[in-house]
Amino acid sequence: MEKRLNVKKFIKLMFVTLIMPLSFSACMMSAVSLLSSAENSNVGSSGEYNAADFFNKTPGYGIHYNVTDNGSTDVDSTVWVIHQDTSTQPPNENYDFITTLVEHTNTSGYFRNSTLAGYYEQDSGEGVFYRYNTGAPSGNQVNYYFDASLPTHFNIPTSWTAGYGNEQHSYELTRIGDYSVGGSNFSNCIQVDYITTTDNAYTTGGGYYVLSPGFGIVDLVFNRSDGSTAQFEYIESQQFSTKYTLSGTVEDSGGTGVENVEVQIGNLDFGIGDTTDASGTFSLQTYGPDIILYVGYDNDGDGVLDFDQPTNDYPFDYKVSGLTGDRSGITISLP
Protein backbone atom coordinates (compact mmCIF):
# COMPACT_ATOMS: atom_id res chain seq x y z
CA MET A 1 0.00 0.00 0.00
CA GLU A 2 1.03 3.65 0.00
CA LYS A 3 4.11 4.82 1.86
CA ARG A 4 4.89 8.42 2.66
CA LEU A 5 7.62 9.83 0.45
CA ASN A 6 8.32 13.54 0.38
CA VAL A 7 10.33 14.06 -2.80
CA LYS A 8 9.64 17.76 -3.11
CA LYS A 9 13.28 18.61 -3.71
CA PHE A 10 13.39 16.32 -6.76
CA ILE A 11 10.31 17.59 -8.60
CA LYS A 12 12.33 19.15 -11.44
CA LEU A 13 14.32 16.04 -12.44
CA MET A 14 14.66 15.89 -16.21
CA PHE A 15 13.70 12.25 -16.66
CA VAL A 16 11.06 10.80 -14.37
CA THR A 17 8.81 7.78 -14.72
CA LEU A 18 7.44 4.45 -13.60
CA ILE A 19 6.28 3.47 -10.13
CA MET A 20 6.93 4.07 -6.48
CA PRO A 21 4.40 3.63 -3.67
CA LEU A 22 3.48 7.01 -2.24
CA SER A 23 2.09 8.74 0.81
CA PHE A 24 -1.44 9.88 1.37
CA SER A 25 -0.71 13.30 -0.11
CA ALA A 26 2.85 13.15 -1.40
CA CYS A 27 4.00 14.06 -4.89
CA MET A 28 5.45 11.17 -6.82
CA MET A 29 8.31 11.34 -9.26
CA SER A 30 11.12 8.92 -10.01
CA ALA A 31 14.07 9.36 -12.32
CA VAL A 32 14.22 7.01 -15.26
CA SER A 33 17.31 5.24 -16.41
CA LEU A 34 16.67 2.62 -19.07
CA LEU A 35 18.85 -0.40 -18.55
CA SER A 36 21.96 0.03 -20.66
CA SER A 37 22.02 -2.40 -23.58
CA ALA A 38 22.37 -2.29 -27.35
CA GLU A 39 18.89 -3.79 -27.58
CA ASN A 40 17.38 -0.75 -25.86
CA SER A 41 19.42 1.95 -27.59
CA ASN A 42 16.89 2.61 -30.36
CA VAL A 43 13.68 1.66 -28.60
CA GLY A 44 10.84 3.97 -29.59
CA SER A 45 12.71 5.88 -32.27
CA SER A 46 11.29 3.96 -35.25
CA GLY A 47 8.71 1.36 -36.17
CA GLU A 48 5.54 0.75 -38.12
CA TYR A 49 3.21 1.72 -35.28
CA ASN A 50 2.73 4.94 -33.32
CA ALA A 51 1.85 4.74 -29.64
CA ALA A 52 -0.45 7.77 -29.94
CA ASP A 53 -2.79 5.70 -32.13
CA PHE A 54 -3.45 3.35 -29.22
CA PHE A 55 -4.49 6.06 -26.79
CA ASN A 56 -7.04 8.85 -26.83
CA LYS A 57 -5.64 11.82 -24.93
CA THR A 58 -8.18 14.34 -26.26
CA PRO A 59 -9.06 16.77 -23.43
CA GLY A 60 -12.36 15.66 -21.95
CA TYR A 61 -12.03 12.03 -23.04
CA GLY A 62 -12.54 9.59 -20.21
CA ILE A 63 -12.72 5.87 -19.49
CA HIS A 64 -14.89 4.55 -16.68
CA TYR A 65 -13.28 1.50 -15.04
CA ASN A 66 -14.24 -1.04 -12.43
CA VAL A 67 -11.19 -1.19 -10.17
CA THR A 68 -10.90 -4.26 -8.00
CA ASP A 69 -8.16 -5.46 -5.66
CA ASN A 70 -8.34 -8.54 -3.44
CA GLY A 71 -5.20 -7.57 -1.55
CA SER A 72 -4.83 -5.61 1.66
CA THR A 73 -6.92 -2.65 0.45
CA ASP A 74 -9.82 -4.92 -0.72
CA VAL A 75 -11.04 -2.43 -3.33
CA ASP A 76 -14.21 -2.65 -5.41
CA SER A 77 -14.84 0.76 -6.96
CA THR A 78 -15.66 2.47 -10.22
CA VAL A 79 -13.20 5.14 -11.30
CA TRP A 80 -13.25 7.78 -14.05
CA VAL A 81 -9.90 8.35 -15.74
CA ILE A 82 -10.24 11.66 -17.58
CA HIS A 83 -7.78 13.71 -19.63
CA GLN A 84 -7.81 17.35 -18.62
CA ASP A 85 -7.02 20.50 -20.61
CA THR A 86 -3.27 21.17 -20.67
CA SER A 87 -3.53 24.72 -22.08
CA THR A 88 -3.36 26.46 -18.70
CA GLN A 89 -0.03 24.93 -17.63
CA PRO A 90 2.47 27.34 -16.07
CA PRO A 91 5.40 28.33 -18.33
CA ASN A 92 7.81 25.94 -16.60
CA GLU A 93 5.65 22.86 -17.35
CA ASN A 94 5.03 21.28 -20.77
CA TYR A 95 3.13 18.04 -20.19
CA ASP A 96 1.42 16.59 -23.23
CA PHE A 97 -1.39 15.11 -21.15
CA ILE A 98 -2.72 15.57 -17.63
CA THR A 99 -5.07 12.91 -16.29
CA THR A 100 -7.24 12.64 -13.19
CA LEU A 101 -8.18 9.26 -11.70
CA VAL A 102 -11.14 9.81 -9.38
CA GLU A 103 -13.36 7.28 -7.65
CA HIS A 104 -16.99 7.51 -8.78
CA THR A 105 -18.64 4.77 -6.69
CA ASN A 106 -17.35 2.61 -3.86
CA THR A 107 -18.49 -0.83 -2.78
CA SER A 108 -15.51 -1.54 -0.55
CA GLY A 109 -11.94 -0.57 0.25
CA TYR A 110 -9.86 2.51 -0.42
CA PHE A 111 -8.87 3.78 -3.87
CA ARG A 112 -6.19 6.48 -3.93
CA ASN A 113 -7.49 9.32 -6.13
CA SER A 114 -4.57 10.57 -8.19
CA THR A 115 -3.38 13.00 -10.87
CA LEU A 116 -0.87 11.91 -13.52
CA ALA A 117 0.97 13.74 -16.30
CA GLY A 118 3.20 12.64 -19.12
CA TYR A 119 4.62 12.97 -22.61
CA TYR A 120 4.09 11.66 -26.14
CA GLU A 121 7.86 11.45 -26.64
CA GLN A 122 10.07 11.22 -23.58
CA ASP A 123 13.64 10.72 -24.75
CA SER A 124 15.88 9.42 -21.99
CA GLY A 125 18.87 9.23 -24.31
CA GLU A 126 18.43 5.44 -24.49
CA GLY A 127 14.82 5.20 -25.65
CA VAL A 128 11.77 7.25 -26.58
CA PHE A 129 8.53 6.45 -24.75
CA TYR A 130 4.90 7.49 -24.60
CA ARG A 131 4.27 7.43 -20.87
CA TYR A 132 3.12 9.02 -17.69
CA ASN A 133 6.11 10.28 -15.79
CA THR A 134 4.62 12.30 -12.94
CA GLY A 135 2.06 11.55 -10.26
CA ALA A 136 1.05 14.19 -7.77
CA PRO A 137 -0.42 12.47 -5.84
CA SER A 138 -0.25 8.85 -6.93
CA GLY A 139 -0.49 5.57 -5.07
CA ASN A 140 -2.09 2.18 -4.43
CA GLN A 141 -3.67 0.67 -7.58
CA VAL A 142 -2.62 3.70 -9.65
CA ASN A 143 0.95 2.38 -9.38
CA TYR A 144 0.04 -0.24 -11.98
CA TYR A 145 -1.76 2.18 -14.29
CA PHE A 146 1.35 4.37 -14.02
CA ASP A 147 3.42 1.39 -15.25
CA ALA A 148 1.61 1.22 -18.58
CA SER A 149 3.72 2.75 -21.34
CA LEU A 150 4.65 2.15 -24.98
CA PRO A 151 7.64 2.98 -27.12
CA THR A 152 6.64 6.07 -29.10
CA HIS A 153 7.21 4.10 -32.33
CA PHE A 154 7.34 0.32 -32.43
CA ASN A 155 7.00 -2.87 -34.43
CA ILE A 156 4.94 -5.89 -33.37
CA PRO A 157 6.16 -7.94 -31.59
CA THR A 158 8.68 -5.98 -29.57
CA SER A 159 10.18 -5.89 -26.10
CA TRP A 160 12.00 -3.47 -23.86
CA THR A 161 13.35 -3.11 -20.35
CA ALA A 162 13.57 -0.22 -17.93
CA GLY A 163 14.77 0.36 -14.42
CA TYR A 164 15.62 2.79 -11.66
CA GLY A 165 17.52 1.95 -8.50
CA ASN A 166 16.11 -1.29 -7.09
CA GLU A 167 13.22 -1.28 -9.60
CA GLN A 168 13.50 -3.38 -12.73
CA HIS A 169 10.84 -3.77 -15.42
CA SER A 170 10.60 -5.93 -18.55
CA TYR A 171 7.90 -5.61 -21.22
CA GLU A 172 6.75 -7.89 -24.07
CA LEU A 173 4.29 -6.46 -26.64
CA THR A 174 2.22 -8.71 -28.94
CA ARG A 175 -0.83 -8.43 -31.19
CA ILE A 176 -3.99 -10.14 -29.88
CA GLY A 177 -6.65 -8.75 -32.27
CA ASP A 178 -10.23 -8.98 -30.97
CA TYR A 179 -10.70 -8.64 -27.23
CA SER A 180 -13.81 -8.59 -25.00
CA VAL A 181 -13.95 -6.98 -21.58
CA GLY A 182 -16.73 -5.51 -19.44
CA GLY A 183 -19.37 -6.45 -22.00
CA SER A 184 -17.64 -4.51 -24.81
CA ASN A 185 -15.78 -5.85 -27.83
CA PHE A 186 -12.64 -4.26 -29.22
CA SER A 187 -10.63 -4.97 -32.37
CA ASN A 188 -7.00 -4.66 -33.44
CA CYS A 189 -5.83 -4.80 -29.84
CA ILE A 190 -2.30 -5.21 -28.57
CA GLN A 191 -1.23 -6.66 -25.23
CA VAL A 192 1.81 -5.82 -23.16
CA ASP A 193 2.91 -8.41 -20.60
CA TYR A 194 5.28 -7.08 -18.00
CA ILE A 195 7.26 -8.13 -14.93
CA THR A 196 8.25 -5.72 -12.19
CA THR A 197 10.80 -6.30 -9.43
CA THR A 198 11.15 -3.76 -6.62
CA ASP A 199 12.09 -3.75 -2.95
CA ASN A 200 8.39 -3.59 -2.05
CA ALA A 201 6.04 -6.58 -2.24
CA TYR A 202 3.14 -4.28 -3.15
CA THR A 203 4.75 -3.33 -6.47
CA THR A 204 6.56 -6.60 -7.23
CA GLY A 205 4.90 -9.06 -9.58
CA GLY A 206 3.68 -9.32 -13.13
CA GLY A 207 0.70 -8.54 -15.25
CA TYR A 208 -0.54 -7.22 -18.56
CA TYR A 209 -2.44 -4.37 -20.16
CA VAL A 210 -4.55 -4.43 -23.30
CA LEU A 211 -4.88 -1.39 -25.56
CA SER A 212 -7.45 -0.79 -28.28
CA PRO A 213 -6.70 1.83 -30.98
CA GLY A 214 -8.46 5.11 -30.25
CA PHE A 215 -9.70 3.95 -26.85
CA GLY A 216 -6.61 3.35 -24.75
CA ILE A 217 -6.21 0.83 -21.96
CA VAL A 218 -9.32 -1.37 -21.81
CA ASP A 219 -7.98 -3.93 -19.34
CA LEU A 220 -5.08 -3.88 -16.90
CA VAL A 221 -4.19 -6.67 -14.49
CA PHE A 222 -1.34 -6.82 -11.98
CA ASN A 223 -0.60 -9.99 -10.00
CA ARG A 224 1.50 -9.24 -6.95
CA SER A 225 4.12 -11.63 -5.69
CA ASP A 226 1.94 -12.32 -2.63
CA GLY A 227 -0.79 -13.79 -4.85
CA SER A 228 -3.20 -10.83 -4.75
CA THR A 229 -4.49 -9.14 -7.90
CA ALA A 230 -5.49 -5.60 -8.89
CA GLN A 231 -7.44 -4.83 -12.07
CA PHE A 232 -8.72 -1.87 -14.11
CA GLU A 233 -11.60 -3.25 -16.23
CA TYR A 234 -13.31 -1.15 -18.91
CA ILE A 235 -16.96 -0.22 -18.30
CA GLU A 236 -17.53 2.60 -20.81
CA SER A 237 -15.86 5.60 -22.41
CA GLN A 238 -17.13 9.11 -23.02
CA GLN A 239 -16.04 12.36 -24.59
CA PHE A 240 -17.03 15.14 -22.19
CA SER A 241 -17.57 18.12 -24.45
CA THR A 242 -17.69 20.88 -21.85
CA LYS A 243 -15.41 21.94 -19.03
CA TYR A 244 -17.29 22.75 -15.86
CA THR A 245 -16.46 25.85 -13.86
CA LEU A 246 -16.08 25.23 -10.13
CA SER A 247 -16.12 28.29 -7.90
CA GLY A 248 -16.48 29.05 -4.25
CA THR A 249 -14.74 30.18 -1.09
CA VAL A 250 -12.06 28.82 1.22
CA GLU A 251 -12.90 29.78 4.81
CA ASP A 252 -11.37 29.51 8.24
CA SER A 253 -13.21 28.01 11.22
CA GLY A 254 -14.95 31.32 11.80
CA GLY A 255 -16.38 31.48 8.29
CA THR A 256 -13.99 34.20 7.05
CA GLY A 257 -12.49 33.88 3.58
CA VAL A 258 -8.76 33.09 3.56
CA GLU A 259 -6.34 34.58 1.02
CA ASN A 260 -3.47 32.82 -0.81
CA VAL A 261 -4.76 29.27 -0.46
CA GLU A 262 -4.04 26.98 -3.42
CA VAL A 263 -6.97 24.98 -4.83
CA GLN A 264 -5.64 22.59 -7.49
CA ILE A 265 -6.35 19.24 -9.16
CA GLY A 266 -3.04 17.88 -7.86
CA ASN A 267 -0.29 18.56 -5.34
CA LEU A 268 1.92 19.78 -8.18
CA ASP A 269 0.97 22.93 -10.08
CA PHE A 270 -0.37 21.49 -13.33
CA GLY A 271 -1.97 24.84 -14.14
CA ILE A 272 -5.49 23.63 -13.37
CA GLY A 273 -6.40 25.44 -10.22
CA ASP A 274 -6.50 28.83 -8.58
CA THR A 275 -5.17 30.86 -5.67
CA THR A 276 -7.79 32.43 -3.43
CA ASP A 277 -8.10 36.21 -3.52
CA ALA A 278 -8.48 38.59 -0.58
CA SER A 279 -12.04 37.37 0.06
CA GLY A 280 -11.06 33.69 -0.17
CA THR A 281 -12.75 33.03 -3.52
CA PHE A 282 -11.45 30.69 -6.23
CA SER A 283 -12.50 29.51 -9.68
CA LEU A 284 -11.21 26.72 -11.93
CA GLN A 285 -12.35 24.52 -14.82
CA THR A 286 -12.22 20.74 -15.17
CA TYR A 287 -13.78 17.89 -17.13
CA GLY A 288 -15.65 14.97 -15.66
CA PRO A 289 -18.44 13.97 -13.30
CA ASP A 290 -16.16 14.03 -10.24
CA ILE A 291 -12.97 15.82 -9.31
CA ILE A 292 -10.69 15.95 -6.29
CA LEU A 293 -9.46 19.40 -5.28
CA TYR A 294 -6.19 19.47 -3.36
CA VAL A 295 -6.08 22.38 -0.95
CA GLY A 296 -3.04 23.86 0.77
CA TYR A 297 -0.30 26.47 0.62
CA ASP A 298 2.75 27.03 -1.54
CA ASN A 299 4.60 29.52 0.61
CA ASP A 300 8.01 28.81 -0.94
CA GLY A 301 6.62 29.30 -4.45
CA ASP A 302 8.11 26.12 -5.91
CA GLY A 303 4.86 24.97 -7.52
CA VAL A 304 4.32 22.14 -5.03
CA LEU A 305 1.86 22.29 -2.16
CA ASP A 306 3.68 22.51 1.17
CA PHE A 307 3.47 19.26 3.13
CA ASP A 308 2.54 19.35 6.83
CA GLN A 309 2.35 23.15 6.77
CA PRO A 310 0.93 24.99 8.61
CA THR A 311 -0.12 21.71 10.29
CA ASN A 312 0.09 18.04 9.36
CA ASP A 313 -3.48 18.27 8.02
CA TYR A 314 -2.14 19.94 4.85
CA PRO A 315 -2.55 19.56 1.96
CA PHE A 316 -5.99 17.97 2.10
CA ASP A 317 -8.54 16.60 -0.38
CA TYR A 318 -11.96 18.01 -1.18
CA LYS A 319 -14.21 16.04 -3.53
CA VAL A 320 -16.78 17.58 -5.85
CA SER A 321 -19.18 14.89 -7.12
CA GLY A 322 -22.05 14.52 -9.55
CA LEU A 323 -21.12 17.33 -11.90
CA THR A 324 -23.52 17.87 -14.79
CA GLY A 325 -22.77 21.57 -15.19
CA ASP A 326 -21.01 24.49 -13.52
CA ARG A 327 -20.91 24.35 -9.73
CA SER A 328 -20.81 27.59 -7.73
CA GLY A 329 -21.08 28.32 -4.04
CA ILE A 330 -18.58 25.63 -3.00
CA THR A 331 -17.40 26.21 0.56
CA ILE A 332 -14.14 24.62 1.68
CA SER A 333 -13.36 24.88 5.38
CA LEU A 334 -9.74 24.79 6.47
CA PRO A 335 -8.76 22.30 9.21
pLDDT score at 58: 96
pLDDT score at 92: 86
Domains 21-239 and 244-333 share a fold: no
CA dist., res. 173 & res. 194, Å (int): 9
Question: Class assignment of domain 21-239?
Answer: mainly beta
Spans of all domains in the chain:
21-239, 244-333
CA dist., res. 206 & res. 184, Å (int): 25
pLDDT score at 1: 47
Nearest Cα residue to 66 out of 159, 173, 179, 181:
181
pTM to 2 decimals?
0.89
Q: If DSSP codes are grouped into helix, strand and coil, which group holds residue 289? A: coil
What stretches in the chain show pLDDT beneath 70?
Answer: 1-41, 125-126
Q: What is the DSSP letter of 147?
A: H
Residues 274-286 as b or e (16 or more Cβ within 10 Å = b): bebeeebbbbbbb
pLDDT score at 164: 77
pLDDT score at 162: 84
Superfamily of structural domain 244-333: Carboxypeptidase-like, regulatory domain (2.60.40.1120)
CA 93 to mean position of chain CA atoms? 16
pLDDT score at 13: 29
